[in-house]
């Protein structure tokens, strides 16, 4: 039996999730200019939000998903308002912001564990139907196909929004040079706040899709953050197209690496790829 | 009393780790999240050599330092090529890779089973089998490391390091090979961490990969952030406080359900508040 | 003071103030904590203190939470029924994070500060291995209801366990697989001491009889097994052995097997077989699946009571049933031990070697001279979402 079609399908599934998560990471990193380790925990915040609303309180998915996304956006926004903004205002270095974001990661993770216990929760039972589809010799579930669709549509929306709207252009200006943007009258503080809000929603969306597919636990934040950051760096920080390319490249290397090397070395494979890019191509896959 | 001696040993081991990481972070300004890997490398060297050969503990310490210096030279060489905060991400990658090697090491490292039955040190017929004699050994090592760190800090080498931290470009203009200086202190720090690892392995008499994860590296960073960067005194104070704090919390009549997770939350909150209000720590002289 | 501390008195003073505040806080906590205890002691007879070592934070916290709840159920039952020789049981629970360092810290504290004579734990084998020397030194009994590493067999006269070593399970499964005529087994193993122990015992017996094993290992933090399963599927083996540490992990793997439209013959270990919910959720996939447990008899009255009580008390299914039953028994065994020989670590350890056919939620318990639970695993089969004896 030829396993390549299935491996391709597996890579597409993983790549779609990476795309979504890398998108949020990219937006936050390129405007706020620091590595936000707390970003990953938003997947858990939003995943548990949906779990609580739909499994515990019995609300429909159509209600719980938007509410959970809003919560995750607000959590991200408040982290910015309360912690990152004051730090940035006094020109704290990236290292200080990074350590503060580690604090956010630990804090939120522990709060989730206190409220919901550390037990693993599968969200897949919430879905009423999740057929498996056969595609060119590989199989994918409906949800996985939808996830891929969401990843691509979301990237497109973000792209149009960045290029087309005044607001998007202001964000690009900030990522090019924050000082100059301030001088020409852009309200950088508020804009970065909005970016954190949007980033929170995107990270949360990733969390819901992960939860529906493979399940959630409070400690999921750090591993997913590392995948998202690796995908964004491999593609090239600050570039949405490149983020998609990086995400799928990473997913393919990972899944084919499992085939050709061995499954237990998967993390090593991912991180060696990351180190190779950081060393020889810090600008990512595409020339600047 | 036995309990206090035990805590004394742990505090000494963590103080060595903090002093060594402080050399790296405090005097070069880079965030290294690989330190637990060096700690583990030293611990595993002692564990493997002393359970399978007749080598004396003190010989295994030297072998551990030697192997760790080679490893850290390689890792440091790669990390020195990264720009800005990506060093932090790259160092996470290295920690995960070393951890993967420990857990996938097959019969050599015994993977997740860990290595039990590590003997206590012996020299000239005297065995450090009682905890009180081990405490003396640990404190002796701590003093040695403390004075080594102080010597480095006050030597001309240390003054160049401080100058690099303040203004790297200026030093380059003066013809200093900045990379070599940073690399040297990185290797020295790693070797000290390996000593702590050897002590740890023979004190606990058991090692397994779960002790040497990124979380442990983050814990070490918290120690020196709390104590204060670039201060040897601060590193020791930080180690005392953060090693004893969870032990002190054992005595509070908290309900067991939430005590442990509350500690994690407090820990996260502490990092955030320190970054916001006292980024130089208790007695530090340098802010990241 | 060091000359480079900027020399100004204020920084030294500040440090001193911070240290004083710290000492006050720590001291205050200790005094406060002790006060709370003293009050309780005044009430009736002094309670019997049992030390507990559990992973309450970190990756293994989910086990620790379940275990703590089960211990509490058992202790509440005992205390409501009049306690042990008229004295109440009181747990002193310490977090050991599933690692050796915190387990030794916890054991040191329990042994030297609380002066307990019996410690329940550790849960992870690494915890028990590291805590055993501390307990043995102080002549305190260490009683683990969860550690299954073969490294613990005969480790110390002060250690015993009512959870069997992994070795017997792997062998029982391999023997049945050989009897079924299976030549090639695909195996996915979680990278934990327990799952590795089961694999080793299985491989020794199965490969010894000429069988072939195709193995994939996966880390506990992993949640995407699709490509590893794809590889195993392509190996065209006679059966797939899902060798995990937790039912949650198996649940994810089962779901992804279904997503791949694969329906192999399946072997599961007792960590998964003990979880009624997972078995019934995936009953189509698991129809005919082989497993080996040392008990988990749903008809056992004590076990049925435990699962029911757990549900009413904590509003959730008993999470890890294979462990739940031994944890529940452990508390009652300690009660039996104290009633038989008194509250003395040395005597309890000696008593443990005399346990023969002790009836509990996990069936009949016999402890061998090496401190291990005697008795092999019996092979079972999944039929219609329920577990039955294999014929």
Contact across the interface for A282 and B86, Cβ inside 8 Å = yes
**Chain C contact set for B208 (CB, 8 A):** 99-100, 126, 193
Higher model confidence: residue A112 or residue C105? A112
Q: Is A96 on the interface with B (CB under 8 A)?
A: yes
- What residues in chain A have per-residue pLDDT under 70? 1, 288
Ramachandran area for residue C363 (φ above 0: left; ψ -120 to 50: alpha; else beta): left
Q: How distant is the alpha carbon of residue B151 from its chain centre? A: 19
Q: Which chain A residue shows the shortest CA-CA distance from B79?
A: A279
Q: Does the pLDDT at position C384 exceed 60?
A: yes
Residue C298: the pLDDT is 65
Radius of gyration of chain C (CA): 24
Q: CB under 8 Å to A90, separation ≥6 — which residues? A: none
Place of tokens 């969200």: A123
Contact across the interface for B272 and A104, Cβ inside 8 Å = yes
> Cα–Cα distance between C343 and A180 in angstroms, integer?
75
A76: enclosing H helix or E strand: helix A61-79
C381: enclosing H helix or E strand: strand C378-383
Interface of A with B in 7-66 (CB under 8 A): 34-35
- Cis before C369? omega within 30: no
Residue C8: the pLDDT is 44
Share of chain C above pLDDT 70, in %: 87
**Chain B contact set for A110 (CB, 8 A):** 261-262, 264-265, 267-268
**Chain A contact set for B273 (CB, 8 A):** 103
Counting every residue, how long is chain A? 288
> Cα–Cα distance between B164 and B15 in angstroms, integer?
25
For A53-73, the pLDDT digits (tens) are 988 888 888 899 999 999 999
- Picking from B196, B285, B274, the residue whose alpha carbon sits closest to that of residue B13 is B196
Q: Count of CB contacts below 8 A, A vs C?
A: 97
Q: What share of chain A is helix, strand, coil (3-state, %, to 5)?
A: 80, 5, 20
Counting Cα atoms < 13 Å in the Cβ hemisphere of C329 gives 31
**What tokens does A16 get?**
């779609």
DSSP letters for B209-253: GGGGSHHHHHHHHHHHHHH-BT-HHHHHHHHHHHHHHHHHHTTS-
Q: Count of CB contacts below 8 A, B vs C?
A: 127
Domain boundaries of chain C, sorted by first residue: 1-33, 48-164+300-365, 167-293
pLDDT (tens place) for every residue of chain B, 288 residues total:
778 888 899 999 999 999 999 998 888 778 889 999 999 999 999 999 999 888 899 999 999 999 999 999 999 999 988 877 888 899 999 999 999 999 998 889 888 888 888 888 888 878 888 888 899 999 999 999 999 999 998 898 888 888 887 777 777 777 778 888 889 999 999 999 999 999 999 988 888 888 898 888 988 988 888 888 878 888 898 899 888 877 777 676 665 556 667 778 888 888 899 888 888 777 766 666
> Cα–Cα distance between B14 and B240 in angstroms, integer?
8
Q: Is B96 on the interface with A (CB under 8 A)?
A: yes
**Topology (CATH level 3) of domain C167-293:** Rossmann fold (3.40.50)
Q: Is A237 on the interface with B (CB under 8 A)?
A: no
Closest Cβ–Cβ partner in A83, A229, A279 for B78: A279
User: What is residue C240's three-state secondary structure?
Assistant: strand
Strand segments (E) across C200-279: 212-218, 239-243, 266-268
Pairing of strands B122-123, A138-141: unpaired
Pairing of strands C363-365, C358-360: antiparallel
Average of per-residue pLDDT across C171-175:
90
**What tokens does B281 get?**
């720590």
pTM assigned to the model: 0.86
CA dihedral C165, C168, C174, C179 (to 10 degrees): -160
What is the assigned CATH class of domain C48-164+300-365? alpha beta
Min Cα distance A226 → chain C (Å) is 12
Pairing of strands C89-95, A138-141: unpaired
Domains C48-164+300-365 and C167-293 share a fold: yes
Closest Cβ–Cβ partner in A1, A214, A264 for C224: A214
**Chain B contact set for C18 (CB, 8 A):** 282
Which partners does chain A have (≥3 C-beta pairs < 8 Å)?
A: B, C
Min Cα distance C198 → chain B (Å) is 12
> Cα–Cα distance between C330 and C153 in angstroms, integer?
18
Please give the backbone phi and psi of residue C188, each rounded to the nearest 5 degrees, phi first: -115, 120
Which residues of C have a CB under 8 Å from any CB of A? 57, 59, 61-62, 65, 191, 216-219, 221-224, 226-228, 230-231, 233-234, 236, 246, 248-249, 251-252, 255-256, 258-261, 281, 316, 319
Min Cα distance A180 → chain C (Å) is 38
Contact across the interface for B204 and C104, Cβ inside 8 Å = yes
């Amino acid at each position: 039996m030829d396993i390549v079609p299935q491996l391709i399908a597996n890579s597409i599934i993983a790549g779609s999730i990476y795309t979504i998560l890398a998108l949020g990471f990219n937006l936050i990193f390129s405007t706020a200019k620091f590595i936000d380790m707390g970003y990953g925990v938003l997947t858990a915040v939003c995943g548990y939000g949906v779990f609580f609303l739909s499994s515990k309180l019995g609300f429909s998915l159509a209600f719980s998903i938007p509410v959970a996304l809003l919560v995750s956006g607000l959590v991200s926004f408040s982290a910015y308002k309360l912690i990152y903004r004051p730090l940035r205002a006094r020109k704290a270095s990236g290292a200080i912001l990074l350590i503060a974001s580690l604090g956010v990661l630990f804090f939120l993770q522990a709060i989730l564990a206190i409220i919901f216990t550390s037990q693993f929760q599968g969200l897949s039972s919430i879905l009423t139907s999740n057929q498996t589809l056969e595609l060119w010799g590989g199989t994918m579930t409906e949800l996985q196909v939808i996830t891929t669709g969401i990843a691509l549509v979301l990237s497109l929306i973000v792209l149009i929004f960045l290029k087309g709207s005044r607001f998007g252009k202001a964000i690009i200006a900030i990522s090019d040079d924050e000082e100059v943007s301030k001088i020409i009258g852009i309200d950088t503080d508020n804009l970065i706040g909005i970016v954190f809000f949007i980033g929170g929603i995107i990270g949360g969306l990733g969390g819901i899709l992960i939860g529906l597919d493979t399940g959630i636990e409070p400690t999921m934040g750090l591993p997913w953050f590392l995948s998202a950051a690796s995908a964004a760096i491999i593609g090239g920080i600050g570039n949405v197209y490149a983020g998609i390319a990086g995400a799928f490249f990473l997913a393919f290397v990972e899944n084919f690496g499992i085939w050709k090397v061995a499954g237990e070395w998967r993390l090593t494979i991912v991180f060696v790829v990351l180190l190779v890019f950081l060393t020889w191509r810090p600008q990512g896959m595409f020339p600047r | 009393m036995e309990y206090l001696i035990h805590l004394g040993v742990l505090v000494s081991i963590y103080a060595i780790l903090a002093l060594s990481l402080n050399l790296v972070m405090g005097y070069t300004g880079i965030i290294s999240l690989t330190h637990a890997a060096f700690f583990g490398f030293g611990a595993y060297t002692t564990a493997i050599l002393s359970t399978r050969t007749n080598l004396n503990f003190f010989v295994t310490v030297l072998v551990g330092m030697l192997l760790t210096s080679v490893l850290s030279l390689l890792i440091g060489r790669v990390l020195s090529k990264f720009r800005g905060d990506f060093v932090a991400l790259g160092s996470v990658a290295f920690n995960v890779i070393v951890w993967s090697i420990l857990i996938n090491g097959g019969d050599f490292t015994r993977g997740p089973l860990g290595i039990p039955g590590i003997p206590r040190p012996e020299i000239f017929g005297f065995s450090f089998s009682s905890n009180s004699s081990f405490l003396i050994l640990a404190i002796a090592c701590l003093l040695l490391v403390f004075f080594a760190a102080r010597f480095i800090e006050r030597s001309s080498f240390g003054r160049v390091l401080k100058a690099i931290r303040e203004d790297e470009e200026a030093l380059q203009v003066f013809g200093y090979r900045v990379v070599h200086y940073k690399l040297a202190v990185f290797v020295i720090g790693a070797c000290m961490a390996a000593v702590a690892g050897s002590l740890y392995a023979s004190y606990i008499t058991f090692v397994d990969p779960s002790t040497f994860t990124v979380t442990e590296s983050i814990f070490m960073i918290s120690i020196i952030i709390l104590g204060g960067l670039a201060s040897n005194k601060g590193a020791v104070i930080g180690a005392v406080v953060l090693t004893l704090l969870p032990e002190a919390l054992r005595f509070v009549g908290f309900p067991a359900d939430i005590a442990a997770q509350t500690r994690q939350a407090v820990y996260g909150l502490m990092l955030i508040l320190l970054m916001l209000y006292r980024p130089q720590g208790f007695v530090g002289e340098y802010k990241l | 003071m060091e000359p480079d501390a900027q020399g100004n008195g204020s920084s030294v003073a500040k440090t001193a103030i911070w240290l004083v505040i710290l000492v006050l806080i720590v001291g205050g906590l200790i005094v406060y904590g002790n006060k709370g205890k003293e009050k309780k002691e005044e009430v009736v007879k002094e309670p019997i203190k049992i030390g507990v070592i559990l992973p309450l934070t970190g990756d293994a916290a989910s086990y620790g939470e379940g275990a703590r709840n089960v211990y509490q159920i058992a202790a509440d039952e005992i205390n409501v029924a009049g306690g042990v020789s008229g004295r109440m049981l009181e747990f002193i629970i310490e977090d050991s994070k599933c690692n050796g360092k915190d387990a030794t810290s916890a054991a040191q504290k329990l042994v030297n500060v609380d002066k307990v004579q019996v410690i329940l734990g550790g849960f992870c084998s690494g915890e028990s291995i590291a805590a055993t020397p501390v307990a043995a030194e102080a002549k305190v009994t260490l009683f683990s209801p969860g550690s299954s590493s073969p490294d613990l067999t005969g480790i110390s006269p002060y250690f015993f366990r009512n959870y069997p070593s992994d070795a017997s399970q792997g062998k029982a499964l391999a023997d049945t697989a050989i009897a079924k005529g299976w030549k090639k087994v695909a195996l996915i193993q979680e990278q934990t001491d327990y799952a590795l122990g089961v694999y080793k015992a299985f491989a020794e017996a199965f490969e010894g009889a000429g069988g072939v094993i195709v193995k994939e290992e996966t880390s506990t933090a992993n949640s995407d097994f699709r490509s590893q399963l794809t590889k195993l599927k392509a190996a065209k083996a006679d059966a797939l052995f899902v060798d995990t540490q937790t039912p949650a992990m198996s649940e994810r793997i089962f779901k992804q097997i279904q997503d791949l439209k694969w329906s192999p013959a399946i072997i599961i270990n007792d960590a998964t077989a003990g979880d009624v919910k997972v078995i019934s959720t995936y009953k189509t996939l698991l129809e005919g699946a082989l497993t080996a447990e040392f008990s988990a008899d749903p008809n056992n009255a004590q076990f049925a009571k435990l699962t029911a009580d757990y549900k009413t008390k904590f509003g959730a299914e008993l999470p890890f049933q294979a462990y739940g039953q031994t944890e529940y028994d452990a508390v009652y065994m300690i009660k039996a031990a104290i009633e038989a020989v008194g509250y003395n670590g040395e005597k309890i350890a000696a008593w443990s070697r005399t346990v023969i056919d002790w009836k509990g939620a996990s069936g009949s318990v016999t402890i061998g001279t090496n401190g291990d639970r005697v008795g092999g695993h019996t092979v079972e089969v999944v039929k219609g979402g329920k577990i039955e004896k294999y014929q």
